[in-house]
Structure formats: C-alpha cells, structure tokens
Amino acid sequence: MSAKEFKKNDFSLRDCGTMAYFQTLNMQLELVGQRQQGRICNTVLLVEHPPVITLGARKTENVVLASSETLKKKQIDMVAVRRGGGTTAHNPGQIVVYPIIDLRSLALGVNEYIRELEAVGIELLAEFGITAQRRKALPGLWVEEKKIGSIGVKIKRHVSYHGMAINISNDLSIFDLIVPCGLKGVQITNVAEKTGREVAMSEVKELLGGILRKHFAKEVQP
C-alpha cells in the first residue's frame, strides 16, 4: 500500500498523501477485512482526493446540479458509494479522515462513534481559532450558518469505514455543483475563508494525528 505509516501501540495512522477516491476505497475495504480478522489494529487514513463528487446511500439526499458533460469538462469524477448521508464533494485542500476501527474495541455504538468524529473535528478547528458546532440530526461540523465538515460512515461487522471530510483551503466552487447532503440553501466554508490565511496541510495532519490518537488509540477492555 502506498502510504506512510505511523504506528503506536494498538493504533496506526497512515498518511496517504493525494490519492484517487476509488483507490482509497479499495484500500479501506481491504483494511476492513483485515481488521475484522484481527490482522491489523485500529487504523486511520488521512488523504486528499482529486476533484470528485460522491453519492451516498440516501437517494433522496443525492442532488447533483451539474450535467455529466459539465463534470467531465471540469475533470470531476462522480462515484456512488454505500456510506451514510447524501451528496458531497472532495478536492485538494480538504483533509479526509477514514477510520478503520472495530467499534467494540472502544466500547462505542454507532451514534457515539459519530459524536467522537465530530469531537475530533471540533478540536482540530479550535486549533485555528474556529468555533465549530454540532447540529442535532445533521452529522457534520458547522461554523455559524455555514458547513465546514461532512460525516458519512459505514459499519460492516462492527468495523467502520468512510468517515469525515474537513474543508481547509480547498476550492469551494465545487459545492456549487451539488446540494450538499441534500440540504437546500446550505453554504459551505473552509478554514482559509474563516481565518484569512492559508494553512499548510502538513500542519493540519500533525495536529490531527495527536487528536485522533487521543480519541481512538486507547482500547477499552470488555
């Protein structure tokens, strides 16, 4: 697998750099099988994707405003996946977090796991002076009335995959081509817009690594 791996105790963090969406999905599926078999520890992938629009499992929340010809012209792929949530978009400058975690090892239910993901994002954004909030029944991260992070997960035999995307310095115009998560009228923001400065992805990954370890590296014994 093409990824830098930083392993500590029973937790592994892999920096995948920039990787195509399908390639990362295949990696996740392979790791899910290995985690289910107990061949690997809880693992989190950090990645940036080339421009891609993904459709979630909730068909009513999948709304793409651009034609296939427009997407092709803009060199934006479109992929249907079986995670929770609706349409979202990924592009360079957005950090995507894919935890491959056996929820039983952390004594987490699905809803508790989603709250943990949100907590990770809230703590990361706080490092840049941004106060992000949760919204009831709307998994993700919000800064006032704008959305800055999306969450869509899938659990297979107790093991999670897919995950969370947080906008750092990405081109936000890609979100004009969709109705994000099926929420009409929602506006999207990123760290660069809220702080007025560019943030290096290396800094984001370093901060995020520490936060992820705090939330997911300590296993709970049954």
**Per-residue pLDDT tens listing for the chain (222 residues):** 445 554 555 899 999 999 999 999 999 999 999 999 999 999 999 999 999 998 876 676 677 888 889 999 999 998 888 776 778 899 999 999 999 999 999 999 999 999 999 999 999 999 999 999 998 877 789 999 899 999 989 999 999 999 999 999 999 999 999 887 767 778 999 999 999 998 999 999 999 999 999 999 865 443
**Number of domains observed in the structure of the chain:** 1
16 is catalytic: no
CA dihedral 123, 148, 174, 48 (to 10 degrees): 10
The answer as to whether 105 is a domain residue is yes
Query: CATH number of the domain that 111 lies in?
Result: 3.30.930.10
Residue of 71, 114, 181, 212 with catalytic role: 181
Residue 221: inside a domain: no
- Please compute Rg for the chain using Cα positions: 16
Q: Which residues contact 164 (CB under 8 A, 6 or more apart)?
A: 96, 97, 117, 120, 121, 149, 150, 151
78 in any annotated domain: yes
Domain with 60, as residue range(s), is 4-216
Give the DSSP H or E segment for 43.
strand 42-48
Q: pTM of the entire structure?
A: 0.90
Is 222 a domain residue?
no
